Amino acid sequence: MAVEHSTGTSVPAPGDQTRIHNIGYRSYDGPRLGRAYARRSLYSQSLRGAYGLGRSVKSKVLPMLLFVVMCVPAAIMVAVAVATKAKELPLDYTRYAIVMQAVISLYVASQAPQSVSRDLRFKTVPLYFSRPIETADYVRAKFAALASALFVLTAAPLLVLYVGALLAKLDFADQTKGFAQGLVSVALLSLLFAGIGLVIASFTPRRGFGIAAVIAVLTISYGAVSTLQAIADAQGSGDAVPWIGLFSPITLVDGVQSAFLGATAAFPGGVGPSTAEGVVFVLVALGLIAASYGLLMRRYKKVGL
Amino acid sequence: MIATESLSKRFPRVTALDRLSVDVGPGVTGLVGANGAGKSTLIKILLGLSPATEGRAEVLGLDVATKGAAIRERVGYMPEHDCLPPDVSATEFVVHMARMSGLPPTAARERTADTLRHVGLYEERYRPIGGYSTGMKQRVKLAQALVHDPQLVFLDEPTNGLDPVGRDEMLGLIRRIHTDFGISVLVTSHLLGELERTCDHVVVIDGGKLLRSSSTTDFTQITTTLAIEVTDTDEHPDGTRAVREALHARGVSVEDGSGLPGAGHILHLTAQGEETYDLVRDVIADLGLGLVRMEQRRHHISEVFTADDRNEQRKEAVGHGG
């Protein structure tokens, strides 16, 4: 009960805490945190959205399932390594993402369209741009969010492997170095896949098309590249094998890590690029990431309002 | 609130705005024009999202060319088209939009609850938007434009797609945005009639040019047409005719509204001011008839301006703009 005490003091009466709210309009005088805050909010909302958090139960199923599928093999390898008292893990940290690339592609294909196609399809984009944030803020937030989501997806199993390796009392320095190399590699992979996925998805408001297009680009390019590599290897032109690897995202990452991160290339014949060739791989990878960003900026300049 | 000076926007093939100079003060202002008259283009420029080809504009005293972000922080915008994702609830969506406007998380939640209540969404706000009626969706769109307590809000065709009841509710709500919330409103429509009842001031644009800018009281005094319908009694088997004759005797000319709906039963007369209403009331009471309705006839924009009037306004607009 709100009983007004006219005590005549300026100290707020305890009744103030419990009084019934005035249902009239209250204006807002609090802080307005501006662009940087809005960008961070969009980032965290998109990152959570990439795992279905804050969305319907139905939209949690696929990302969570893929996350589990990514981690289970790592857990099994750890269990085997611990049980058999192996001297090393059955799979290198850097190799894990390459082996699991189908799962990663599926994740990008499902989450890149949900991140950007929805805003286009339901024409929510104008609501963002009628607020303090600008094109660059939107693009950066979405890009960073999907890259972070991918990093979580790809780094989590490496963490499982690392923790398992330490539990199995494998060499600490060795394992830490491998783990660090793996993290750098999946960070690059996350940026690259996020950029490619978002660019493709941002050109279609239809989620289905987006999913199909991303899967097509990632798998067809990998299929074509590995076929050509196999042919080149079989015909004895092994020199060409690394160069062909430049033309699909996953082989590009594989090339970078075989040149600089101590990985063994999954290329036919096991020939990775040399250091000089590796520089080209790094430049191409960074160039692709920058180009994705540029294309997204151009795209969103057009769909403004 | 808004001031434009010789504002033009030209696209390669069309001129969307042609040297538009207009001043808009606080209150509810209607922006009327046919489709393609340049209403949406004007809003885009005022939000600082599209540069003007020439001329300048200020919103809340801030230049749109350089202070776009600052303007957008203090202004709300409700687009004409659908803009709501169907798979989230109104609460989640509006909270997110509040944060996009820079409100801290707790404030965003509080303001969302308040705003949704003020626009008339209660329990349904926790359900996904996909299941809402058009009227409810319009309310959510309005809520996201108001959630950060702007000083000015742009509403682009807010009554589009609503049935007559929904339309009246929306117009009432728009009125309250100013009277109760203290937020100024710029509302666009292609129907002058509905803005006449809601707005303090009406700006009419056509082909990107200013046709007329005046307060609604000026408007209605000159142009109001009253529609009157009365009952018949034994004494006056044709009540409509009796009223017409009685009014005629008092020197008021009455059209029988031929060609308009309800012709023969509804009388149309031009109201000269308050006294016309009183006169009609007295005449009908003297005859002992029942007054079924007496209403202001809704105008379509094209009816308001006779050809001469239109030309005169054009000249004025050009003089003003030049």
Prediction ipTM score: 0.84
Beta strands at B152-155 and B2-10: parallel, antiparallel or unpaired: unpaired
Q: Which two tokens stand for residue A63?
A: 């990302």
How wide is the angle at C-alpha B110 spanned by C-alphas B104 and B111, nearest 5°? 80
Q: Which of A21, A22, A25, A55 to mutate to test the interface with B (most CBs of B within 10 A)?
A: A25
Residues 27-46 of A with CB under 8 A from B: 27-28, 30-35, 37-38, 41-42, 45
Cβ-based neighbours of B116, under 8 Å, separated by 6 or more: B90, B91, B94, B122, B125, B139, B140, B143
Q: How far apart are CA A273 and CA A93, in angstroms?
A: 19
pLDDT digits (tens, 9 = 90+) for A71-113: 999 999 999 988 888 888 889 999 999 999 999 999 999 999 9
pLDDT exceeds 70 at position A284: yes
Q: What is the largest CA-CA distance in chain A?
A: 98
Q: How far apart are CA B115 and CA B78, in angstroms?
A: 14
Chosen CATH of B2-215 out of 3.40.50.2020, 3.40.50.300, 3.40.190.10, 1.10.150.120: 3.40.50.300
End-to-end CA distance of chain A: 50
Of B50, B103, B117, the CB nearest to A32: B103
Quick check: A131 and B72 CB within 8 A? yes
Quick check: A32 and B148 CB within 8 A? yes
Cα A207 from chain centre: 18
Quick check: A59 and B101 CB within 8 A? no
Separation in Å, CA of B319 to nearest CA in chain A: 32
Q: What is the pLDDT of residue A7?
A: 41
Q: Percent of chain A having pLDDT more than 90? A: 65
Quick check: B99 and A126 CB within 8 A? no
Q: How far apart are CA A202 and CA A206, in angstroms?
A: 10
DSSP B213-258: EEEHHHHHHHH-EEEEEE---SS-SSHHHHHHHHHHHTT---B--T
Q: How many CB atoms within 10 Å of residue B71?
A: 25
Of B72, B82, B92, the CB nearest to A122: B82
CA dihedral A149, A154, A158, A163 (to 10 degrees): 30
Separation in Å, CA of B144 to nearest CA in chain A: 9
pLDDT exceeds 80 at position A12: no
Separation in Å, CA of B142 to nearest CA in chain A: 11
Confirm or reject contact between A23 and chain B (CB < 8 A).
yes
Q: How far apart are CA A75 and CA A60, in angstroms?
A: 22
pLDDT exceeds 60 at position A20: no
Do you know the residue count of chain B?
Answer: 322
CATH topology of domain B225-296: Alpha-Beta Plaits (3.30.70)
**Interface list for chain B against chain A, based on CB atoms closer than 8 Å:** 44, 47, 49-50, 69-70, 72-73, 75-77, 79, 81-88, 92, 96-97, 99-104, 107, 111, 114, 117-118, 128, 144, 148-149, 180-182
Q: How many CB atoms within 10 Å of residue B123?
A: 6
Any idea where the domains of chain A sit in the sequence?
41-302
Nearest chain B Cα to A59, which residue?
Answer: B87
Q: Which of A28, A47, A302 to mutate to test the interface with B (most CBs of B within 10 A)?
A: A28
Assess contact for B153 and B75: CB atoms under 8 A: yes
Separation in Å, CA of A34 to nearest CA in chain B: 5
Q: What is the pLDDT of residue B300?
A: 46
Q: How far apart are CA A238 and CA A268, in angstroms?
A: 9
Q: Percent of chain A having pLDDT more than 70? A: 91
Contact pairs from chain A to chain B, CB under 8 Å: 106
Confirm or reject contact between A130 and chain B (CB < 8 A).
yes
Any idea where the domains of chain B sit in the sequence?
2-215, 225-296
Q: What is the pLDDT of residue A11?
A: 45
Q: What is the pLDDT of residue A305?
A: 58
pLDDT digits (tens, 9 = 90+) for A28-73: 999 999 899 999 999 999 999 999 987 778 889 999 999 999 999 9
- Chain B positions touching A45 (Cβ under 8 A) are 96, 99
Quick check: A132 and B117 CB within 8 A? no
Beta strands at B75-78 and B152-155: parallel, antiparallel or unpaired: parallel
DSSP B178-213: HHTT--EEEEEES-HHHHHHH-SEEEEEETTEEEEE
> Could you identify the residue written with the tokens 């308050």?
B274
Nearest chain B Cα to A35, which residue?
Answer: B102
Q: What is the pLDDT of residue B8?
A: 92
Assess contact for B115 and B147: CB atoms under 8 A: yes
Q: What is the pLDDT of residue B220?
A: 53
Can you list the alpha helix ranges (DSSP code H) found in chain B? 39-46, 68-74, 90-100, 105-118, 134-146, 164-179, 192-198, 216-223, 239-249, 274-287, 301-304, 307-321
Could you say which residues of chain B have pLDDT below 50? 300-302, 304-322
Q: How far apart are CA B88 and CA A58, in angstroms?
A: 12
Separation in Å, CA of B101 to nearest CA in chain A: 6
Q: How far apart are CA A106 and CA A111, in angstroms?
A: 9
How wide is the angle at C-alpha A53 spanned by C-alphas A153 and A114, nearest 5°? 75
Separation in Å, CA of A59 to nearest CA in chain B: 10
pLDDT digits (tens, 9 = 90+) for A188-237: 999 999 999 999 999 988 888 999 999 999 999 999 999 999 999 888 87
Q: Is A279 helix (H, G, I), strand (E, B) or coil?
A: helix
